[in-house]
Amino acid sequence: MDFKILGPIEVRTSLGRPIVLGRRKQRVLLAALLLNVGKAIPSRRMLDWLWGERAPATAESNLYTYISALRKVLGSPSRIEAGSNGYMLRVTPGEVDVTLFEDLAAQGQLALSAGRHDVALERLTRALCLWRGESVLEELPLPAPLRCEAARLERLRATVVDASLEARLALGQHGEMLADLETLTHRDPLNERLRTQLMLALYRSGRRADALTVYQSARMTLAAEVGIDPGPDLVRMHQRILADDPALTPPPAVAARRAPAELPIGAAAFTGRGAEVSRLCTKLGAVAGTAAISAITGAAGVGKSALAVHVAHQVAGRYPDGRLYVDLHGSTPGVAPLHPADVLARLLRSLGDDAAAGPEGRLGVDEAAARFRSLTDGRHLLLLLDNARDAAQVRPLLPASPTCRVLVTARRMLTSLDGAAHFRLGVMTEEETGMLLGRLIGEERVAAEQRAAGAIVRLCGGLPLAVRIAAARLIARPGLSLRALADRLAVEEHRLSELQADDQAVRAYFMMSYRSLDTESSRMFRLLSLLGGGAISVTAAAALADRSEPRAGDLLDHLAEAQLLEVCGHDRYRMHDLLCLFARERAREEDTEEDQAQAVRRARRDVWTPPAGPPLHPAVPAAQASAQPITYMPVRS
């Protein structure tokens, strides 16, 4: 949602559709909340702003009505929080044009003071483009306290205009800016700063006489209007032009550096994940403070990359110096993980350091990492490192500047990365995966076979990759009914084979995680599938694998770190349905029937109670003969 007040007040949805705000007092109330974002406004103050000293007896109930109406218009009661200190509007980074304007203005002025004129001009121009009128909340009558805040923003705008003109002059754009300077000077003839800049631009454009005429005009206007002589800056510019000061020679035009914009195209059918998107946008939206890393981890096919790319596009406007992207291939089937040296060479090229990144100037990892940190220092950059293998692969690629943000996706938890915020991504709900299927194959097709669509979603177990592959098969074969595909997926022995299309296959993604395991962990993973799913305790796993409980606990934790198991309580774990099918396949390939049968007998004899329903392995019926069924635990995050 976009809140715009640099001009007429306006609210638009994330898709750009305008929202009707209703009556005038309701709009004034929203304006007050927007000018005080993140601050609680007491009810008494709101009543004063809306009615002043002539508040009617019904003012408090009317205020509550306006608040309720605004919540409805904004689509969420949580948008406007009511607390002991008053009402407060909740927004995410980048939603309000005022906060974005102030951020860009501050960044531009900081870059200007550091002599980075191209960066300064880019920030300041973007800040000015947010204005859609000549004043804040144009045409909306505001109470005096809010008019003071609006006036402050308009003064800041004038400062930004002045700073942008200074940056343009420093970049040698004097010829291009003459028309703008003449217009601004005509609007504000007493502004000596504008007169000084116009004189310099005219002189650098070869119009010395016109520059001196501007001075004479300024001298006469100041004398006639306010009875004063020109100030020292204007007089000094006049004298320097008369003396043809060599220091006034125009600098060569500087081409603006193009910021890298490497983010992949976001998934058109991206669905759900509202809470995760909000948390990540909040984390990445603030560009001040210490350098920050946000790490999204989760099982294969759970949608980590799609979420990361979607969020990166959401906050891209906060990083005008560039959005860098690298697929590290930490878990890509058939592709070796990238070496940090190769990644750094690519990043250096993206930032314009071709000499250091080229084959002849190839640097070692440490030197390339240091060069990368130097190039990113002070820049507002977003770095998306997708599909990382481990923390060791990521660590050399991290910028040190507090103005940069890093978003990483990985299957394993990257707990050894200092200062990282960890976001574990679970499977999607049936409602979300149902919506995803509809967006991929068309709502009409889903509506025509609702029960079959529900079956497909359930059999995919909330895994976005599985849903996308199922949808790809339906798109490739328009004549294939949803019921036919659901029936195929219902056959457990064939389900993983059905979930493959083109170069994507659920089995291949699982295999990458499986191959990263050591011998003992992979054996435990295979044996767990013999119990047919459901939750399992450390004690039961120890009996199954014929290991001590401490050792079994270590193995289960290792599988959980590899995202092949999920912790579901104290000393209890469970396996996703599709992973269970994959593990059972590996057991048939790598373990003898006798080994499997012995494992099940140990579990039956010691502690295990099998789940109700049909067995998943030939050895299970004998084990079930003297066991009582337990309730399955659903595989959901």
Confidence of residue 387 (pLDDT cuts 50, 70, 90): very high
Confidence of residue 199 (pLDDT cuts 50, 70, 90): very high
Contact 623, 600 (CB under 8 A): yes
Statement to judge: residues 83 and 231 lie in one domain: no
pLDDT > 50? residue 627: no
pLDDT > 70? residue 186: yes
Statement to judge: residues 522 and 592 lie in one domain: yes
Cβ-based neighbours of 619, under 8 Å, separated by 6 or more: 530, 593, 596, 597, 599, 600, 601
Question: What crossing angle do the helices spanning 144-170 and 117-129 adopt, rounded to 10°?
Answer: 140
Instruction: Give the CATH number, domain containing residue 587.
Output: 1.10.10
Averaged pLDDT for residues 162-183: 88
Instruction: Give the CATH number, domain containing residue 188.
Output: 1.25.40.10
pLDDT in tens, 210-227: 999 999 999 999 999 999
pLDDT > 60? residue 398: yes
Q: Which of 114-123, 185-194, 398-407, 460-469 has the lowest mean pLDDT?
A: 114-123
Residue 269 lies in a domain: no
Statement to judge: residues 24 and 148 lie in one domain: yes
Averaged pLDDT for residues 140-144: 81
For the chain, percent of residues with pLDDT exceeding 90? 25
Question: What is the pLDDT, as a whole number, of residue 327?
Answer: 94
Confidence of residue 288 (pLDDT cuts 50, 70, 90): low
Single out the residue in 168, 196, 220 at which a domain terminates: 168
DSSP letters for 286-328: --SSS-EEEEEEESTTSSHHHHHHHHHHHTGGG-TTEEEEEE-
pLDDT > 60? residue 168: yes
Residue 633 lies in a domain: no
Statement to judge: residues 497 and 482 lie in one domain: yes
Statement to judge: residues 540 and 615 lie in one domain: yes
pLDDT > 70? residue 244: yes
Give 384's strand partners. 325, 407
Q: What does the buried/exposed string (b/e) look like for 405-427 if buried means 16 or more CB atoms within 10 Å of the residue's CB?
A: bbbbbbbbbbeebeebeebbbbb
Cβ-based neighbours of 179, under 8 Å, separated by 6 or more: none
Confidence of residue 615 (pLDDT cuts 50, 70, 90): very low
Q: Which of 272-286, 449-463, 540-554, 568-582 has the lowest mean pLDDT?
A: 272-286
Confidence of residue 344 (pLDDT cuts 50, 70, 90): very high
Confidence of residue 606 (pLDDT cuts 50, 70, 90): low
* Euclidean distance between CA atoms 437 and 446, whole angstroms: 8
Question: What is the pLDDT, as a whole number, of residue 621?
Answer: 41
Question: What is the pLDDT, as a whole number, of residue 356?
Answer: 58
**Greatest mean pLDDT among 14-23, 390-399, 524-533:** 390-399
* Euclidean distance between CA atoms 84 and 63, whole angstroms: 16
Confidence of residue 607 (pLDDT cuts 50, 70, 90): low
Question: What is the pLDDT, as a whole number, of residue 60?
Answer: 86
pLDDT > 80? residue 187: yes
Two tokens, residue 359: 């084959």
Confidence of residue 385 (pLDDT cuts 50, 70, 90): very high
* Euclidean distance between CA atoms 292 and 421, whole angstroms: 8
Confidence of residue 282 (pLDDT cuts 50, 70, 90): confident
Residue 268 lies in a domain: no
The candidate with the shortest Cα–Cα distance to 179, out of 191, 187, 167, 170, is 187
Question: What is the pLDDT, as a whole number, of residue 554?
Answer: 92
Statement to judge: residues 453 and 569 lie in one domain: no
Statement to judge: residues 449 and 533 lie in one domain: no
Q: What value does the mean pLDDT of the chain take?
A: 84
Statement to judge: residues 478 and 524 lie in one domain: no
Two tokens, residue 195: 């007169």
Statement to judge: residues 14 and 101 lie in one domain: yes
pTM as predicted: 0.62
Averaged pLDDT for residues 259-266: 87
Token pair 């056959």 is at which residue?
491
Statement to judge: residues 412 and 436 lie in one domain: no
pLDDT in tens, 485-522: 999 999 888 899 889 887 788 888 899 889 889 999 99
pLDDT > 90? residue 386: yes
Number of domains into which the chain is organized: 5
Token pair 């394993």 is at which residue?
412
Confidence of residue 533 (pLDDT cuts 50, 70, 90): low
* Euclidean distance between CA atoms 376 and 373, whole angstroms: 5
DSSP letters for 217-255: HHHHHHHHHTS-PPPHHHHHHHHHHHTT-GGGSPPPP-P
Question: What is the pLDDT, as a whole number, of residue 384?
Answer: 95
Single out the residue in 425, 441, 472 at which a domain terminates: 425
**Helix (H/G/I), strand (E/B), else coil: 9:** coil
pLDDT in tens, 422-471: 899 989 888 888 889 988 888 888 888 889 999 999 999 888 899 999 99
* Euclidean distance between CA atoms 525 and 561, whole angstroms: 13
Residue numbers of the domain that contains 493: 430-508
- Amino acid identity of 363? L
Give the distance from CA 225 to its chain's centroid. Answer: 53
Statement to judge: residues 162 and 176 lie in one domain: no
Question: What is the pLDDT, as a whole number, of residue 626?
Answer: 32
Question: What is the pLDDT, as a whole number, of residue 156?
Answer: 92
Single out the residue in 425, 459, 488 at which a domain terminates: 425
